[in-house]
Amino acid sequence: MMNCLYAKCTPCITDCVMAELEKLGQKYRVALRIAKDPRFERLPCTHKGT
């Protein structure tokens, strides 16, 4: 991503996206592992539901 934008980037993932990835199970386990990377910023959700 940095090569494309020529700038430092911090990917952001919301709590509800993490919950959905966990619900999807084995098929999306690689995406979940990538999303749990500590370099990604976690954003809280302000809406109701998961």
Total number of residues shown for the chain: 50
Structure tokens at 29: 């386990």
Name the residue ranges covered by the structural domains of the chain: 12-50
Per-residue confidence (pLDDT) for residue 42, from 0 to 100 = 95
Beta pairing class for 41-43 and 12-14: parallel
**pLDDT tens profile 1-48:** 667 778 788 899 999 999 999 999 999 999 999 999 999 999 998 887
DSSP string, the chain: -HHHHTS----EEEHHHHHHHHHHGGGGHHHHHHHT-TTSEEE---SS--
Per-residue confidence (pLDDT) for residue 2, from 0 to 100 = 64
pTM of the model: 0.73
Per-residue confidence (pLDDT) for residue 31, from 0 to 100 = 94
Per-residue confidence (pLDDT) for residue 49, from 0 to 100 = 66
